[in-house]
Amino acid sequence: MSGDERGPGRDRLPVVDSDAHVVEPFELWDELPAEVRSLSRRREVLPDGREQLHHEGRPMRLDWTVGTLSTPGSAREGGSLDIEFTDVDPAVNDAGRRVHLMDDQGVAVSILFPSITLGVDDITHDGYRRAHAELYNRWIADFCSLDPARLRWAAVIPLQEPTWALRELERCLSDGACAAMFSAVPRSRPHDLPYADPGRSDACRNLGHPELDRIYSLLSEAGRPAVAHALNPASNALGMGWLYANRTQWQMGQPFQMQLAILHVLDGGVLERHPNLRYGFFEGDVGWLPHWLGRLEETYEKFALLSRRPAASPIEQFRSQCVISGEPADRGLSPTLDMVGAE
């Protein structure tokens, strides 16, 4: 792309937005198979003008509208919790408008992630979960086909069924996906097993489980990264939704998801078994990372008789194969850069 093609932002350095989001059009879910269509995410406007969302056939209770969720900064002082979805910039699901907006902002490339589909791992119906992910992946591939050099997409891959996940990832990579997006806590759900039951460890199917090695091998061979992306902080997968409400979800839930994801990936030996795999951890801040990696090294020493100690330290592994996204206002950004580098 030449400088003249960048529009009003052409005099600025080109920006690669590695964690941009679309908002899936609600009419997309009308294309789901008939047998699961009633479970899809639906939006209706009630007679009194209020918005009502439905998920898996049940009404949802939210403190804000989809329009507010789709508008950055809308919950700040002076913002609004009831923005109409029709008032949102159409770039959220119109590829042509997205490219024009990128021109205005000086963004050279956007790597796109979903909004509604972020919660696909919380879908309990196996058939619906598969159909939802497949439909989204086909839609976003078509969306990005307008300008595949600038619009890139991460395939959404639920991991409850590893064999299906491998097939879907193969299809998405052939369709042009530049990464695979996983839930930070994809399959660890609350169980009825009592506390300290030996079976509890077998019930924890996390990002470090060897069952996922075929998926990681495929990504390594294709030269595509894995990305653990934070989702709804009150996710059922965490089994802790009752602790969170409103702002507390974003204060605690998103960093906690990333802490678990990094722990599971490093502790599970994923990076040792797949030395060419790159792993990203997105939308959970960064200031806590030095403490978390340092504590992981410390616990390897303290509990050496209870767990396998990796050949390379957690800090070394992270520096070599991982990236993490944060915000400029994060007060812990500087010590994090000192520990893991800016690369």
3-state class of 50 per DSSP?
Answer: coil
Mean pLDDT, the chain cut into blocks of 10 residues (343 residues total): 46 82 96 96 90 89 86 90 92 97 94 93 90 98 98 96 96 98 77 63 80 97 97 65 65 85 95 98 94 93 85 94 90 89 78
Q: Report the pLDDT value the prediction gives residue 9, as an integer from 0 to 100.
A: 46
CA dist list (Å): 106 to 112, 127, 263, 328, 342: 16, 41, 36, 18, 22
- The angle subtended at Cα 256 by Cα 71 and Cα 340, nearest 5°, is 95
> Are 157 and 134 a contacting pair, CB within 8 Å?
no
pTM: 0.90
Could you tell me if 154 and 180 are in contact, meaning their C-beta atoms sit under 8 angstroms apart?
Answer: yes
Separation CA 39–CA 132 (nearest Å):
10
Give per-residue pLDDT as tens, 242-284: 566 667 777 777 888 899 999 999 999 999 999 999 999 999 9
Which pLDDT value is given to residue 205?
Answer: 75
Q: How many CA atoms lie within 13 A of 284 on its CB side?
A: 29
pLDDT at 3: 43
Rounded distance between C-alpha atoms, residue 229 and residue 231, angstroms: 6
Tokens found for residue 184: 């930070």
Q: What are phi and psi of 281, to 5 degrees?
A: -130, 110
Distance CA 257, CA 236 (A): 12
Q: What are the phi and psi torsion angles at 311 (to 5°)?
A: -65, -40
The alpha-carbon radius of gyration of the chain (Å, integer) is: 20
Helices (H), 145-206: 162-174
At 188 the three-state DSSP class reads coil
Which amino acid, residue 111?
I
User: What pLDDT sits at residue 6?
Assistant: 46
Cβ contacts of 272-277, under 8 Å, gap ≥ 24: 272/310, 272/311, 272/312, 272/317, 273/210, 273/213, 273/216, 274/213, 274/216, 274/217, 274/219, 274/220, 275/321, 276/220, 276/223, 277/216, 277/219, 277/220, 277/225, 277/226, 277/321
